[in-house]
A and B are shown apart, each in its own frame.
Chain A
Amino acid sequence: MALLDVKNLSISFGGLRAVDSFQLTIEQGELYGLIGPNGAGKTTVFNLLTGVYKPTEGIILLDGKNITGHKTAQINHEGIARTFQNIRLFKEMSVLDNVKAGLHQHYKYSTVAGIFRLPGYYRTEKKMNARAMELLSVFDLDKEADYLASNLPYGKQRKLEIARALATEPKLLLLDEPAAGMNPNETQELMDTIRFVRKEFGMTILLIEHDMRLVSGICEKLTVLNFGRILAQGETSAVLKDKEVITAYLGE
């Protein structure tokens, strides 16, 4: 059974079909790329998958379970985590607390235990700190744990977002243009990180990307969107040779 199975997904905004009959099947452990020109509807697909928008039509199955129309927080509990194109960190919180906020669902103690500092508070906080530091060190952020998130340089902010998403222990990780605004060196480093995350966490990843080098370098499969419709879908090498894709996306 596929990890993610999306059938006939559509959404309209005021008559305009932003995403039209979108199909997607991702197997456990795959690294999948979603590409397309600006305004093709890529981020809209992410917003549909994470429940930010409710689809007009279609169904989304995660691990065989229908999650269509569920709320964002609920979908995260069910196993999808994401990053954002325009970074959305908890800016006024420390780097460590950003990740600990990601641990919210899996390391619990009651509000009362927190206020009155009952034993559960100390026990769980200790575990949370350990887990959060572990995740931070994967992304080489452990030394900056006490920094305010907004004090991090741009590239590290992107990494922190990935770390926070992983803290929620997802089955599927959605990365929205992780290399946006990065220089070639940083992009290279990011590719290594993504590969590492996949191996280390056995993570299934769907990523939106503009940087063709990154896409062709790490994704096994691609879906190309144009004007909300699927233009091509399949193995990366095949898709990149597709004539229509070259015309629409590479603008030749």
Chain B
Amino acid sequence: MWKKLNKNTRKNAVTYLMLIAAYLIMSVLQKGGHLSNLISGMLVLLCVYAIMAVSLNLTVGVLGELSLGHAGFMCVGAFSSALFTQLTMNTGMNAGLRFFIAILTGIVVAAVFGILIGIPVLRLRGDYLAIVTLAFGEIIKNLCNVLFLGKDSNGIHVSMKDTMSLGMEADGIVIINGPQGITRTPKQATFFIGMLILLISLIIVLNLVHSRTGRAIMAIRDNRIAAESVGINVTKYKLLAFTVSAAIAGAAGALYAHNTSSLMATSAKFGYNMSIMFLVFVVLGGIGNMRGGVIAAVLLTVLPEVLRFADDKRMLIYAVVLILAMLWNWTPAARTFREKHSIRRMLAGRAGRQQKESGEAAATNKKEEM
């Protein structure tokens, strides 16, 4: 029993150490000028994607629900944090403090959206839930595109039509300009801050998973009816997991917003295509495997760039990877095959106990026998 506790702690510690090592190595390389501009320029974006992988993995892997709208939460986090930064830009606030509060703003606003969207959505199951999250994501993106917001000496003006209808004084400045979004947000996001947020997100999610709350969430995932029968409040824990996941996505959005000079809610940046890209990270890294998701996010972003794939080929590879990963992981035949040819089994001479794969394969076999 203690051995088991230690095992989880050990595994998590390895994940954290890997992150810290990756940060140190990249920093040293960057200082020494050994990084190409391409990679240097991608570092913060890699953190954003990795954080999104952690966030979505909480919903898909731990809660067991498929969200196709996570880019929407990222969008909310990005716009709200950038808005905060813009509104407080010339107030003499310390830039570091301002950025810190901007990130918190992104987190809190995304969490609020997580609750508001989670309450109706989490009543649904499976496919319906997935498509409704997609719907919410698209609605958020659409609304961002028709939102106009400006500030003048009289205060803040909002419109859903155009800049003219903001009706501002001559000294007014447009902050959110509809489809043009928010421009000139200071690029305060650094690789260090990105890695820090990633590390904190991971600690939060991994600690959550290995706690009473995490057990309740996973119990609901594994068998909702049984979870209710042992007194677990299904709605509460589903909503909790979904909200934490949305909050983390909001942090990723805040980071993203402070890494780009023009923040626009285009389909390419916040549409469901993005949500699906995050899903690819999660699936390839192993559903529920936080470390795997982070690694997949990095590899699937860096490799196509380094190998100079055109964008269309990159998406093609994602698609193939997604299909093959699912077939390999979930086809009963493939599971039996892996069970038989598992390397660990060959080494140990018998199926390694506690090995997730073998357990699932055994379960599937049993089902077929019955």
Same assembly: yes
Binding site for B on A (CB under 8 A): 50, 52, 71-73, 76-77, 81-82, 84, 88-94, 96-97, 100-102, 104-105, 107-109, 111, 113-117, 121, 124-125, 128-129, 133, 145-151, 154, 164-165, 167-168, 181
A92 touches B222 (CB 8 A): yes
Contact among A73, A82, A114 for B232, CB-based, below 8 A: A73
CB contact between A93 and one of B218, B234, B358 (< 8 Å): that residue: B218
- Residues in B with CB closer than 8 Å to A167 are 230
- Contact residues in A for B213 (Cβ distance below 8 Å): 111, 114
Most central of A81, A115, A181 by chain B CB within 10 Å: A115
Partner of B226, one of A88, A108, A125, A154: A88
Chain B contact residues: helix, strand, loop or mixed: helix
Report the minimal beta-carbon distance from A135 to chain B, rounded to whole angstroms. Answer: 13
**B353-370, CB under 8 A of A: which get 1 and which 0?**
110101110110010001
List residues of chain B with CB within 8 A of the CB of A90: 218-219, 222-223, 226-227
What chain A residues lie within 8 Å of B229 (beta carbons)? Answer: 50, 72, 76, 81-82, 84, 88, 165
Q: A73-B232, A104-B230 are in contact. Are A116 and B212 (CB under 8 A)?
A: no
- Which residue of A109, A128, A154 contacts B366 across the interface (Cβ within 8 Å)? A154
B207 at the interface (CB under 8 A from A): yes
B356:A73 contact, CB within 8 angstroms: no
Question: Complex Cα distance A116/B354, Å?
Answer: 27
Are A133 and B1 in contact, with the CB atoms below 8 A? Answer: yes
Q: List 14 A-B contacts (CB under 8 A).
A: A76-B230, A81-B230, A84-B229, A89-B226, A90-B222, A91-B359, A91-B360, A91-B363, A104-B232, A111-B211, A111-B240, A114-B214, A146-B4, A151-B359
Give 4 A-B pairs besides A100-B212, A107-B212, A168-B230 with Cβ atoms closer than 8 angstroms.
A76-B228, A104-B232, A151-B358, A167-B230
Residue picked from B3, B230, B234, B358, most chain A C-beta under 10 Å: B230
Residues in B with CB closer than 8 Å to A105 are 230-231
Residues of the A chain whose Cβ atoms lie less than 8 Å from the Cβ of B225: 52, 72, 84, 88
Cβ of B231 and Cβ of A76 under 8 Å apart?
yes
Q: Which residues of chain B from 212 to 271 have any CB-CB distance to chain A below 8 Å in the complex?
A: 212-216, 218-219, 221-223, 225-234, 240
Q: Are B207 and A73 in contact (CB under 8 A)?
A: no
Interface size on B, residues (CB 8 A): 39
Contact check, B354 vs A73: say whether CB atoms are below 8 A apart. Answer: no
Within the complex, the shortest CB–CB distance from B281 to chain A, in Å, comes to 21
B212 near A89: Cβ-Cβ < 8 Å? no
Q: Which residue of A lies closest to B363 (CB)?
A: A150
**B232–A148 contact, CB under 8 A?**
no
Which residues 180-221 of B have a CB within 8 angstroms of A?
204, 207-208, 211-216, 218-219, 221
Do B212 and A148 touch (CB < 8 A)? no
Which of chain B's residues have a CB closer than 8 A to the CB of A72?
225, 228-229
Q: Say how far A95's CB is from chain B's closest CB, in angstroms.
A: 10
CA distance in complex: A167, B362 (Å):
26
- Do A151 and B353 contact each other (CB < 8 Å), given the known contacts A104-B216, A115-B207? yes
Distance in Å: Cβ of A50 to nearest Cβ of chain B: 6
Residues on B with C-beta less than 8 A from A104 are: 212, 215-216, 219, 230-232
B207–A97 contact, CB under 8 A? no
Instruction: List, in ascending order, chain A residues with CB within 8 A of B353's CB.
Output: 146-147, 151
CA distance A117 to B211 in the complex (A): 9
In-complex Cβ contact of A150 among B5, B227, B233, B362 (8 A): B362
**Shortest beta-carbon distance from A159 to chain B in Å:** 15
B222 and A93 contact, CB distance less than 8 A: yes
| Complex interface bits, B126-166 against A, C-beta within 8 A gives 1, otherwise 0 | 00000000000000000000000000000000000000000
